[in-house]
Structure 1
Amino acid sequence: MSAEERFDAIIVGAGPAGSACAYVLAKAGKSVLLVERGDTAGSKNVTGGRLYTYALELVEPGLFAQAPLERKVVREQIMMLSSTGGITVDYVNYKFGENVPQSYTVLRAPFDEWFAGQAEAQGAMFAAGILVDELIEADGRIVGIKAGDDEMFADVVIAADGVNSFIAQKAGLISDITAHAVGVGAKEIIQLPPEVIQDRFNLSEEEGVARVVLRASAGVTGGGFFYTNKDSISLGLVLNPEELGRSGKKIHDLLQDYKLHPAIYPLIKDGTTIEYGAHLVPELGFHGVPKKLYRDGLVLIGDAAGMVINTGTILRGIDLAIVSGVAAARALIEASEPGKVGPAYLQQLEQLQLLPTMRLYKGFHELMSLPRMFTTYPDMANDMMKFMFSVDGNLPERMDKGMLRVLKSHVTLGQLVADGWKGFKSI
């Protein structure tokens, strides 16, 4: 690649945001360079999660039907653990999004590789194993990137390099990441025969489960998750890094404790761990979005722009990343000159309902910061269920008195009212 070669856009990072952006731009006839630090797109991702398919439909109608997705999610579950038991709320809807399915479970490594390949098929130039060292700036404007001795130039550089974005930091749009802004996640993929997964989760061949777990780790604020794939289960923890540091515990050990919990282990018994990984996860939702998402010649998308929603029961990241990539692409296509891409990007984020959606959930990080949300209240809920269903042959305690006794053994009425008011204000 010659130093003189110039592109309409250089996209740094071939995750869902970067590939979506590259696909839309290339299809519109723009010259695009998509660079990825890993050996292949998705090579750094062990994550298993879910994809809301409306996002792929924004890239191109019908695209989701071609994607290497796992199982259509028909069961939404919320689980609250105590030390010895668990309560699971199970919502089942077999008609969830009949025309465009609501969501699928997905394995990021094969999905990311496929998506980058789709962008390449549209005409984008894809280059793996490229570590960007510097941004190239001229007269206060970003005009390209430097990787080793190679310099590459573009009208616009698009940062899709994930949480704690190196590109965004180099451009002065974000500072170094702080512990309160992220969670630290540890994830495993556990292989099991499809028929075993279907039997244990009450599923048919194409159906899947998405489960979030409260109080997944004793003593450290955070939660867990479960996703059923075709022949594996993705599970993991996302914990508060400050509390994890103070606890002196290792996240890998807490993940093992989580897997061995009596309400979890039967679901993964006899499975084989085939992948393991850990990484940072944006936690602040709308409050974690940088004050400036662009500067002249540069735009932030995906995790680099803090595009994540986590309410504790709703976890959204991949779809928001894709939508932000589409927004950036449309802005570049429609802008009459490179200097107008940034403002046009913000308009697209509004029109595509991404920023309005994030604003809708902007208070939830306050709710999730309540320490009792992940410790006291799951324990209390489990003790209430134990009281309701325990039978020993003696005269049972009156229901109202028993429930009040259990409640008072965990929180004072003052604490309950204070938490309730804070929770109400957050939503």
Structure 2
Amino acid sequence: MTAPEIVHQADVDTHHRALRFLTCGSVDDGKSTLIGRLLFDSRAILADQLDTLEKRAAGAPIDLSLLTDGLEAEREQGITIDVAYRYFATRARKFIIADAPGHEQYTRNMVTAAAGSDAAVVLVDVTKLDLDQAEVALLPQTRRHTLLAHLLRVPSIVFAINKIDALGDPGTGFAKVAAALRRFAQEAGIAFSAIVPVSALRGDNVTAPLDAAWYNGPSLLQVLESLPSVQEPVQGQLLQPVQYVAKDGEGVGNTARVLWGRIAHGQVKAGDEVQILPSGERAVVAEVRRAGEVVAHAVAGESAGIVLDRQLDVSRGDWVATPGSATPVQEFQATLAWLDTEPAQVGRKYWVRHGNRWVQARISSIEHRLDIHSLQPTEAHELGVNDIGSVQVQVQAALPLESYARNRTSGALIVVDPSSNRTSGALLVR
């Protein structure tokens, strides 16, 4: 294989859909260094940034992790705390990278990054594993981040076995860890796209294929270039959360109220009958707007403004849908990824956000907690920080929910503690 050609952003076909991916895994597995390597090799670093890194290195190899660890606390502690987003491009693809923290206490940031990603690169530090075992045991955070990426329906999961250059027998080490990853993925029911060996520090098999007798597969960059981007379903029934309602002097009756929001799935055009949820009121679409212009239609993934043929009481948090396509409910089952140090408790009231609406809710029961080691459900009366469980939830006002497996917009809710205002968890409707 030949190495992919790296070019500047201006040379890229702007019509090609960018791949949004995150790097995740256990702490110090080399996530920030890997992103730094991708940026460095793609020449996506400004000259003054490179000059600063070289001066800081004082003749030693450049610390590529500093390209993403932007907070002062991150640089001082040598860890990633917040999600850092970076951009680069090749002739084949544009990329948006999210560097997610590896520490357990920052798992909520990893969940935030995963929720909008097309792919997840899970790094596995081969030097932290006992390769003398017949069956290599993976680190808990590696398993947890992979499970979260799977639960959050990140479409493509790639395992990158890092620091392969530190092994005396890299071929045997890679084979053992790859076997452990395959066992784990099979037990958890996770479909993954690839397992690749890399050295983020040295650059082995990151952008250029590895020249080794024991590996003849693609580089990490070649895998990423081949992965599909998430495309919301454009066929079928319309569902659009209303982000805000604008009023102007154009359109029907010169007092048009435009219902703006990003279409979750389906499409809309003038003449379509729609239903406002949760009120149930119906109307006909008079106009569809995009970027301030009247258009023939709009599809899933686009931000659009809908003008109705009659005045209805519609506000932020409502939904526009094909009539009869969604039924608002007040009780539902969900997978709960708990992110707060205060445990999730049955009967306690929380705020939940669905689309653009906030409502009060409570956990009516906890069915079980997932043991990330055995992957088996275990009995639980509360969920602690970083636990994943199955729960029953009641909400104060009916919401038009869909299963998260069908739609990541209408099937997801965030949970907020009303006393501390902390983001406490993520609910994925089943």
- TM-score bracket, shorter-length normalisation: under 0.3
Name the structure with the higher helix share.
1
> What's the TM-score once normalised by structure 1's chain length?
0.22
Higher relative contact order (CA 8 A, sep 6+): 1
> What's the TM-score once normalised by structure 2's chain length?
0.22
Name the structure with the higher strand share.
2
